[in-house]
């Protein structure tokens, strides 16, 4: 669990109900001093504080103020952890029926020509035999056009099928032994 005596939790809620959490550790012991320091960076009307015995939670009203707070904590060299916002998350999908010897860079280039913002393309290998399968994971930047990739019927002169990745229903377990 937490080893520090005090911890600091910040969260930002934008107008579209997007919640951003920031967990910070090893900061000053006095909560009031932290609030005063933050109020120098962000206006007092822009955040609400909630205090518990172990941490201070701050809810911020805009993503811009959230970014300002992150930069402030970085300047103070404060350890923190944050979750990725919904707007920054990648759209993940699987492209089926492309030959496994196809270079992932070719797939990426072809998708970018169609006007998708591709972050990563990876060939899927069989879990036990490590043989390449005719499946590719594709990570796209989260944009409104990203959902249109599910309508693509052919890519690189190959008839394809684009699907969401299957979620595993089994308990995560080490497969090395």
pLDDT of residue 63: 77
Two domains, one topology: 7-82 and 91-163:
yes
pLDDT of residue 3: 35
pLDDT of residue 53: 66
In the chain, where are the structural domains located? 7-82, 91-163
Residue labelled with tokens 């934008």? 14
pLDDT of residue 27: 45
Segments of the chain scoring below 70 in pLDDT: 1-35, 51-58, 78-88, 144, 177
pLDDT of residue 17: 38
User: DSSP letters of 99-159?
Assistant: -TTS-HHHHHHHHHHTT--EEEEEEEE-TTT--EEEEEEEEE---GGGGGGGG--EETTEE
Q: Which CATH architecture has domain 91-163?
A: 2-Layer Sandwich (3.30)
Q: Could you give the C-alpha distances from 19 to 23, 41, 54, 62, in angstroms and in order?
A: 13, 20, 21, 10
The CATH code for residues 7-82 is 3.30.70
Q: Are 103 and 156 in contact (CB under 8 A)?
A: no
How do residues 124-151 score in pLDDT, each as one tens digit?
999 899 999 999 999 988 776 778 888 9
pLDDT of residue 35: 67
pLDDT of residue 138: 94
Q: 73: part of which helix (H) or strand (E)?
A: helix 63-75
């Amino acid at each position: 669990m937490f080893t520090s005596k005090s911890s600091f939790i910040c969260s930002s809620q934008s107008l579209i109900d997007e919640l951003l959490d920031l967990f910070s550790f090893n900061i000053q012991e006095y909560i009031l001093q932290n609030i005063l320091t933050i109020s120098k960076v962000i206006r007092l009307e822009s955040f609400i504080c909630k205090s518990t015995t172990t941490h201070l939670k701050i809810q911020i009203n805009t993503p811009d103020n959230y970014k300002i707070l992150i930069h402030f904590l970085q300047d103070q060299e404060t350890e923190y952890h944050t979750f990725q916002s919904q707007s920054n998350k990648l759209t993940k999908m699987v492209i089926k029926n492309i030959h496994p010897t196809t270079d992932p860079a070719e797939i990426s280039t072809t998708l970018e020509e169609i006007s998708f913002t591709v972050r990563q393309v990876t060939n899927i290998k069989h879990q036990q035999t490590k043989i390449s399968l005719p499946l590719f994971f594709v990570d796209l930047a989260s944009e409104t056009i990203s959902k249109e990739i599910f309508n693509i019927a052919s890519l690189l002169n190959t008839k394809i099928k684009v699907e969401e990745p299957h979620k595993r229903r089994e308990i995560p377990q080490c497969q090395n032994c």
